[in-house]
């Protein structure tokens, strides 16, 4: 089973969406996690709404810090444009996905970011 981690600053939007898509598309072959370098403590209501549009209940997720995820060597870590605020995490492979934070975007732009995250997660799952 592959262990994948998605990290952003607040763990309220982008990384939560990526974790959801990894669970949706990775099935039983993936353990997906998300966390934040400075978690907000809540999942963004717009992210919950946008994932609800495609039938995924993101309200079951929780905003977590890096201290709350397993201390393992991940097969892959994707950071979501958090730059220096994302500390080093042990991983066999990593990428920084420069994805704009959609939290203040209008719905159509938010959907575009959601679709971009899904596209990247699907590609990642094929590559690992």
* Residues catalogued as catalytic: 8, 82, 86
Strand partners for 16: none
Is the distance from CB of 31 to CB of 2 less than 8 angstroms? Answer: yes
Is the distance from CB of 33 to CB of 61 less than 8 angstroms? Answer: no
What residue spans of the chain are helical by DSSP H?
Answer: 14-26, 45-52, 107-127
């Amino acid at each position: 089973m592959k262990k994948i981690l998605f990290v952003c600053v607040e763990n309220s939007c982008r990384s939560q969406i990526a974790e959801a898509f990894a669970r949706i598309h990775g099935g039983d072959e993936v353990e997906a996690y998300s966390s934040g370098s400075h978690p907000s403590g809540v999942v963004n209501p717009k992210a919950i709404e946008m994932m609800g549009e495609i039938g995924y209940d993101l309200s079951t997720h929780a905003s977590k810090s890096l201290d709350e995820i397993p201390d393992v060597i991940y097969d892959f870590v994707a950071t979501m444009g958090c730059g220096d605020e994302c500390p080093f995490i042990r991983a066999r492979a990593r990428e920084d996905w420069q994805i704009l934070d959609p939290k203040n975007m209008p719905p159509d732009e938010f959907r575009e970011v959601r679709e971009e995250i899904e596209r990247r997660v699907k590609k990642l799952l094929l590559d690992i």
